[in-house]
Structure 1
């Protein structure tokens, strides 16, 4: 490659670390790629687990990216209404080759107006929140629609990243990275999707996440309403 690929993953408080550390491991294996972890300031960012994360660059100092990726997590409930985050994404998207997300990161892309007219996927529990942003929900692990590539929930980030590498570089490179990571999943249970989980497990999970889902629905409702107003004003 004549120039290093510039790949950026945004961080924010209460991000789900596996949403981006899976893709980070894949992208870091691409020969010549430069990977950035981006936040408003260079300061520790608390994830939704015990892990604290350190950005490598700020919104202001970030170079133009070839790939911009938004991971998901509880923090997206704030990010869908965070003007600084949304402005950064819109600016990067103007020249980025690929505008991407993992899990509920797609809702942040939607709130920035970057999924209107595109098919996209997200975590199963948030699928109904895509349409108000003008996106067509796709119930798939990885969704490719032109230069919008979105991954489903959490662990789909690895599938998403390998798919993107096959497009950015070539399939043999993606397959060698998969082999290096020994990404050969054989889950111990078949409960990884609402379509396959036992009904009682699905019911328990839906009950457990109901309050968080309500907060997410309200936050995205405000964001979608604001976005509609911005489009009308424009």
Structure 2
């Protein structure tokens, strides 16, 4: 029942967010804190929908002010997730606005993303100017290849530490942690843990009260409470 409840909440909220134009979420004075969720074909749905739902809910409910949520891909238009869900990228990497936050997810076969030089150049350039960077699952590979995780504590999906250790030994990998915060970088195991990571990021940016409000709104706290009473 817990999984079914979470799926129902997630997809209902996701449909609301995707149906609405993100311009509804933008600050009218142009000073919005802009959160960019990176999309690419084959991305795992929960890796990107979790931050979209958490921040979209925070914006729509008024838990935060002057936040804007945008989606970006190599080319503007639709992408298909690993699970067959169609998502729309509003911006391409060529016309994307300035970003305060960059969030990257994962896919099976990360080489398709890591070998995409224009995409990776975008991450390197925009990531160097962003206030926050976040990854879910093997999205940590993207941040690592872009040079942001050297000397940083980070996590990825269980098993993903093998690739990171081999290719980026300077990373301080904490694979037993679900979410790791080090400075302005947040990494997570991905999948449903992406919700925990998104709420952590929201709390870091907007305060624990905002994060707690949204955790209640999307029933995340109910799941935690149910888990502790079993």
TM class by smaller structure: 0.7 to 0.9
For residues 48 and 89 of structure 1, what CA distance do their matches in structure 2 show?
22
Structure 1 match to 2:140:
106
Corresponding residue number in structure 2 for 1:173: 210
| 1:62-141 equivalence runs, <5 A | 62-131=96-165, 132-133=167-168, 134-139=170-175, 140-141=177-178
- Deviation, structure 1 residue 75: 5.0
1:125 is displaced (CA, Å) by: 2.2
TM-score (norm 1): 0.76
**Counterpart position of 1:45:** 79
Q: d(CA) in 2 for partners of 1:43 and 1:150? A: 27
CA distance in 1, matches of 2:225, 2:45: 20
In the TM superposition, residue 33 of structure 1 has moved relative to its aligned partner by: 1.4
Equivalent in the alignment of 2:53: 25
Question: For residues 188 and 172 of structure 1, what CA distance do their matches in structure 2 show?
Answer: 21
* In the alignment, structure 1 residue 14 sits paired with structure 2 residue 42: yes
Q: 1:43 to 1:142 in 2, by over 3 A?
A: same
CA distance in 2, matches of 1:124, 1:111: 19
Q: Give the gaps of 5 or more residues in structure 2.
A: 1-26
Secondary structure class of the residue paired with 1:130: helix
- 1:56 maps to 90
DSSP 3-state at the match of 2:160: helix
Q: Please name the residue that 1:185 is paired with.
A: 223
Partner of 1:156: 193
| Per-residue Cα deviation, 1:93-128 (whole angstroms, up to 9, x for no partner) | 121001110111001111111211111111102122
Q: CA deviation at 1:43?
A: 2.2
Instruction: Deviation per CA, 1:148-186: give whole Å up to 9, x if none.
Output: 111113111110111111110110000000000011326
Deviation, 1:74, is 1.3
Q: Which runs of 4+ in 1 moved over 4 A?
A: 186-189
RMSD value, Cα: 2.0
How high is the TM-score relative to the length of structure 2?
0.77
Distance 1:52 1:121, change over 3 A: same
- Which ranges in structure 1 are unaligned for 5 or more consecutive residues? 190-234
- TM-aligned CA deviation for residue 14 of structure 1: 0.6
